[in-house]
Amino acid sequence: MEGMSEIDFEKLAEIELRKDEAENAELEGSQVSFASVSNGDAEISPTHPYYDVARHNILHLVGDDNLGRKVIAFSCCRLPPSYQLNHRRLLEYLKYALDQYVENDYTVVYFHYGLNSKNKPSLSWLQSAYKEFDRKYKKNLKALYIVHPTNFIKIIWNIFKPLISHKFGKKVIYLNYLSDLRDHLKYDQLKIPQEVIRHDENLRTKQKKKPLTAVKTPPPRPPLPTQQFGVSLQYLKAKNKGELIPPVMKHTVSYLKRKGLKAEGLFRRSASIQSIKEIQKLYNQGVESSLRVMICREILHGLPEQNYAVLKFLICFLHMVSQESIFNKMTGSNLACVFGLNLIWSPKGTPSFSTLVPINIFIGLLIEFYPTIFSSRSVPGEQLP
C-alpha cells in the first residue's frame, strides 16, 4: 500500500465502510440506523461542560477487568451523523473523560459496530487524535480490545502502523465475538449497547449457517512436558521431580526478593495482557527456546539443497501468515497443527498421537523463528514469496 495518498486511503476506507453497511443491512434485514440519545444509560446533566457530546453516551465506564483495572467502552453505534457532532469537541471530551482514569492502569473496549460512512470521523481527525493522546494516556493503558473488527480496521491499522510503537501495538487485541470478552473482563458488568448485542447474535447465526468445509480444526494439543500454565498443581509436581512449589512461582519470588522489595508501588501496576501471554508461552515451552532454535537450524543444514529451498519458501510464507494472526487467527502454533504432518512423515506409517506434539513444536519453531533459523543458509537463485 506504499505510494498511496491520504485521499486514496480515505476513499479506500469509505469503500470498506460501505461494504460493512451493505453486509450489516443484509445481516439484519434493514438499513443501519442511529441510536437514540439516551441509550438507557445514566442521564447527563445539561450543566456538564461537554453536554453536547457527553449526552450521546459514546464513552462510558463499564466496570473492571479480571485484574481489577477500570474498563472504559467506546461505542461507535452511538456516534450521531457527522453534521450533528463537532469532532473537535469529541476529541476534547475524550481527553476530559479519560483524565479521570489515566493515573492508574485502565483498559478500553472499542465496539466497532455502528461506524459507517455517515458518522465516521476523517482520517486527519484520527491522526490528530492519536498524536494528542500522548504518553500520559498510553502509558497506563494495558489493553485495547477491538470488538467485531472489519477490513476497515485493517486499513486504518496499515495507515497508522508507521506511527504506532511496537509496545503499544502489543496492547491491541482483536475479538470477533462478545463472548471472547469473558476471557479478559467481568462480562456481566459490561453495559453493552443493544445494537451491538443484536449484531453479535446475527453474526453467530450467520456463522452457524455456513456450509461445512474440508478444513479440519486441529485437535486440542496435550500439555507440553514443560507446561507451566493451564495445568494442575499435581501435573507440575509430577513433572518437576516432586517439587511442591511451581518453578514459575519460585523464579518470580526469587527475582522480586533480589530486585523488587524496595520498588515503589510494587504490584500496584500490572503488565500488559500481551506481555503476560508471551511470558506464559516462554515458560510453557521451557526457557531453553534459544537452544531449540539453534538445534533446528543445525537439522535443516543437513537437508539437500532443493529440499531446503522448498521448505524455506513455504516457511517464509507461513511466517508471513502468522504475522497477521490478529486478523486471520492463524498463529505459528495453529499453522504447525495444520502443516506439521504434511511436512514430516513417519517411516512407520501413520504417526501415533504422542508424536504429534514434537512434530508440531518443531514446525511451530520454524515458523515463529523463521528469520533466525533460515538466515544462515541461502541457495542459488532462491525465491521467496
**How many domains is the chain partitioned into structurally?**
2
Do 187 and 81 have their domain in common? yes
Do 178 and 290 have their domain in common? no
Do 179 and 30 have their domain in common? yes
Q: Do residues 366 and 373 touch, judged by C-beta distance below 8 A?
A: yes
pTM value?
Answer: 0.59
Please tell me the predicted confidence (pLDDT) of residue 61. Answer: 84
Do 155 and 22 have their domain in common? yes
Q: What range defines the domain where residue 331 resides?
A: 286-385
| Domain assignment present for 153 | yes
Q: Do residues 62 and 190 touch, judged by C-beta distance below 8 A?
A: yes
Question: Which of 184, 209, 234 is the endpoint of a domain?
Answer: 209
Return the residue matching grid coordinates 501468515. Answer: 321
| Domain assignment present for 220 | no
* Contacts (Cβ under 8 Å, ≥6 apart) of 156: 13, 123, 126
Mean pLDDT for all residues in the chain: 80
Do 166 and 59 have their domain in common? yes
| Domain assignment present for 91 | yes
Low-confidence ranges of the chain (pLDDT < 70): 1-10, 12-13, 26-43, 209-222, 224, 272, 274, 285-286, 288-290, 346-355, 383, 385
| Domain assignment present for 252 | no
Pairing of strands 59-64, 70-75: antiparallel
* Contacts (Cβ under 8 Å, ≥6 apart) of 19: 151
Do 187 and 335 have their domain in common? no
Please tell me the predicted confidence (pLDDT) of residue 261. Answer: 87
| Domain assignment present for 296 | yes
Do 290 and 199 have their domain in common? no
For 305-338, write each residue's pLDDT tens digit: 899 999 999 999 999 998 888 778 888 888 988 8
d(CA 272, CA 170): 8
Question: Which of 156, 178, 209 is the endpoint of a domain?
Answer: 209
Q: Do residues 178 and 75 touch, judged by C-beta distance below 8 A?
A: no
| Domain assignment present for 215 | no
Please tell me the predicted confidence (pLDDT) of residue 12. Answer: 67
Rg of the Cα trace of the chain?
24
Do 204 and 306 have their domain in common? no
Please tell me the predicted confidence (pLDDT) of residue 312. Answer: 92
Q: Do residues 84 and 52 touch, judged by C-beta distance below 8 A?
A: no
Please tell me the predicted confidence (pLDDT) of residue 367. Answer: 92
Do 13 and 156 have their domain in common? yes
Do 191 and 312 have their domain in common? no
Question: Which of 209, 242, 264 is the endpoint of a domain?
Answer: 209
> Directed axis angle between helix 87-98 and helix 123-132, to 10°?
30
Do 322 and 187 have their domain in common? no
Residue 126's CATH number: 3.40.525.10
d(CA 258, CA 255): 5
Do 61 and 158 have their domain in common? yes
Please tell me the predicted confidence (pLDDT) of residue 33. Answer: 46
| Domain assignment present for 243 | no
| Domain assignment present for 226 | no
